[in-house]
Amino acid sequence: MLSQTEENYLKALFHLTSETANKSETGTNELAATLNVKPATANDMLKKLKEKKLIHYEKYGKVSLTASGKKQAIEVVRKHRLWETFLYDKLEFSWDEVHEVAEQLEHIYSPKLIEQLEKFLGYPEFDPHGDVIPNAKGELKLQVRKTLSQVAVGKPCKLVAVKDNSASFLQYVVKVGLGLSSKIKVVSRQEFDGTMEIEVNGKRSIVSQKFAENIFVV
């Protein structure tokens, strides 16, 4: 069985090499930065994960998950998202509070627990941030979605998910009046720096390009 640390490395690799991230490989430094460890530490773990055949990796080369590594990473993601849903739906946690606790809960080992939790929650398809919850087989629907920053001026769209799950970002999102399924209209965009004006329920706000890049819409 994998240690919590190993699970965290696999999960980070999964996120860094997913469709959402638009690339299929990553490097030691990027991985280290994601996990808040030094490159030397990440390097040690890469050797270990390669040894266990969970990643493709050669010295000085790029890193990607093997089928086995991806399967295990998805299982962690599945647990994370189910727990987030539990906290949000059943325990009155807010959008920005669920992530941190789910980071701990995702490492609990008990197949029956996850099975029953999923059943108890009514086999949810999406977590509170709008992300797809992989099913028990590790399959996850590919979502067609773009970021708010890619929407044309004048176009209405709907928020389906957020990219960043940090409390600070989510609190900001709420402050602008946004939530899952919010309808957004792009009023204008600055050519210079991508800053845009948006309208949500009649309320207008100015948001940065960085902000808009972290909002997924359809």
Among 24, 116, 166, 171, binds a copy of itself (CB under 8 A): 116
Contact flag: residue 76 with a copy of itself (CB under 8 A): no
* 10, 17 contact by CB (below 8 A): no
**CA dist., res. 59 & res. 171, Å (int):** 41
Nearest alpha-carbon partner for 119 in 97, 141, 132, 136: 136
**Binding status of residue 91 toward a copy of itself by CB under 8 A:** yes
> 118: Cβ–Cβ under 8 A, 6 or more apart, which residues?
82, 124, 136
Q: Is 117 in the site for a copy of itself (CB under 8 A)?
A: yes
Q: Which stretch binds a copy of itself (CB under 8 A): 5-13, 45-53, 90-98, 135-143?
A: 90-98
Query: Which of 29, 38, 51, 120 is the binder for a copy of itself (CB under 8 A)?
Result: 120
Q: Which entry of a copy of itself, DNA, none binds 100, CB below 5 to 8 A by partner kind?
A: a copy of itself
CB of 136 to a copy of itself, least distance (A): 15
* CA angle centred on 27, ends 22 and 32, rounded to 5°: 110
166 lies in the binding site for a copy of itself (CB under 8 A): no
- Token reading at 137: 């087989």
Rounded to whole angstroms, how far apart are CA atoms 108 and 93? 20
What residues make contact with a copy of itself under the rule CB under 8 A? 87, 90-93, 97, 100-101, 104-105, 108-110, 112-113, 116-117, 120
